[in-house]
Amino acid sequence: MKNGRGNRVAVVGTGFVGASYAFALMNQGIADEIVLIDANENKAEGDAMDFNHGKVFAPKPADIWHGDYDDCRDADLVVICAGANQKPGETRLDLVDKNIAIFRSIVESVMASGFQGLFLVATNPVDILTYATWKFSGLPQERVIGSGTILDTARFRFLLGDYFAVAPTNVHAYIIGEHGDTELPVWSQADIGGVPIRKLVESKGEEAQKELERIFVNVRDAAYQIIEKKGATYYGIAMGLARVTRAILHHENAILTVSAYLDGPYGERDVYIGVPAVINRNGIREVIEIELDEEEKKWFHRSAATLKGVLARYFAQ
């Protein structure tokens, strides 16, 4: 199907997240070719038909079709959105047993095609499954990326912007660690227009500090709230995945909070975890090690330890 026009993205799993991601790619004109792969071939075919009917409205029409793992051979990027969804009351880590086996099959099928590109993982628990993708694929660590805390960071910036009445694009703040219950806000480095957020709340008193704590809790628990209301989260993460895809395909060297492999930075080794990293056509160019205060360091190590505890059940550490 490939006609040599340019970048190909293969989307594995066309459920809520995968279909929303493909829709974001099409609307933003990021990819030249989009192939949809799903165990439910009718669903993938129906999505491809639906997208093609809207081609005339796209800023840069892409070739889009439903295919199979053989189409991954010429893909620049394979994005995995397949797997069991998080149900009300479940944590992301509850999904490990269900999704590890699914991922082994998917990754081995992709690699059997002769794939030589990059993996981007969206399925939860994303840090665990990104590590699994790295192990199952045998690819270099920099060519396997997880969506990490990119959405958590976006939520954080939105809520802080809303509180301080400034555009979220002018809020510079990160959520790092596990994409899950042990993630942490890096308050020590958060600023708005160059002014530290901690300084901004000094004059506002104790209630302002409590409001910042509530903002973080709402960031951390956002998925639970959305799942309770509508059953799943997909638009926000789809846009985050599109942002990472653009950074990769356009060789942007953009800094995004993705799940990256650590082998020394932040005092951690042999774990994929959400941290700021420079992303380009080759994958993760480097991890950015921002300075954490002592409490943040302890919190980050606890988060990494939580992930390592899960990984130890499936992989020799």
Active site positions, annotated: 179
269 is in an annotated binding site: no
76 to each of 7, 12, 120, 148, 238, how far by Cα in Å? 6, 14, 11, 20, 18
126 is in an annotated binding site: yes
**Which of 247, 67, 38 lies closest to 150, judged by CA?**
247
162 is in an annotated binding site: no
CB 223 within 8 A of CB 86: yes
DSSP tag of 138: -
127 is in an annotated binding site: yes
259 is in an annotated binding site: no
155 is in an annotated binding site: yes
123 is in an annotated binding site: yes
69 is in an annotated binding site: yes
233 is in an annotated binding site: yes
In the chain, at which residue ranges do the beta strands (DSSP E only) sit? 8-12, 33-37, 63-66, 77-80, 118-121, 144-146, 171-172, 175-176, 184-185, 191-192, 195-196, 254-263, 269-280, 283-287
Contacts of 232 (CB under 8 A, 6+ apart): 16, 17, 85, 86, 226
DSSP assignment of 225-252, as one string?
Answer: HHHHHHS---HHHHHHHHHHHHHHHTT-
125 is in an annotated binding site: yes
147 is in an annotated binding site: yes
Residue set of the binding site: 17, 38, 43, 69, 83-84, 86, 92, 105, 122-127, 147, 152-155, 157, 172, 233
Residue set of the binding site for substrate: 86, 92, 124-127, 152-155, 233
Residue set of the binding site for beta-D-fructose 1,6-bisphosphate: 157, 172
Residue set of the binding site for NAD(+): 17, 38, 43, 69, 83-84, 105, 122-124, 147
